[in-house]
Structure 1
Amino acid sequence: MNSIPTIPSEAEAAALDSELKGLIADVLGLDPAQAAAFGPDSGLFGHLPELDSMAVAGLLTEMEDRLGIVIEDDDVDGEMLETYGALRAFAQAKLASR
């Protein structure tokens, strides 16, 4: 039986947004206000010096732990880390498919 991903409510989307921004600030050591200002088009990998290849592993591991998702190696590509909006969409899709 296939399940159809549900569209998150505004409260769920806001909670994910807050959690993801907090997670990014914690892992990368950013000022929480800087992370809170991220919008969908805010650049991540290649734009934030703190987000290097070593930090990507830590970020993905922390996402798995805090969001209760599993990220397979095949899931990781440059597009999902390019912008905050892409990372949030990725997390949202993973949460919907649980």
Structure 2
Amino acid sequence: MKLREIAHSRTGDKGNISNISLIVFNEADYNLIKEKVTPERVKEWFKDIIQGEVERYELPKLGALNFVLDKALGGGVTRSLALDKHGKSLSSALLEMEI
């Protein structure tokens, strides 16, 4: 299944760092995404854009994972030539991941 079937996502940015939240619709699915959506897997999923590390923060009471993607926005909003300088589409891209 794709992540979008059991979760939704939001993206934020600060400079060259993207912040992606992954939030399950049903708390029963939290352990599944915790097991399947690792920092290594997220880095591999975005291998064409992430130049730095991926850190994951777990928020079990919210049924969420938060990923911080370092060096992922082409230098940041004021330096990037990307069409999506803020990286807002990254949340939709993550939801396409198969688990």
Q: Normalised by the size of structure 2, how large is the TM-score?
A: 0.32
Bigger fraction of residues in strand: 2
The TM-score, its normalising length taken from structure 1, stands at 0.32
Which of the pair has the greater relative contact order for Cα pairs under 8 Å at 6+ separation? 2
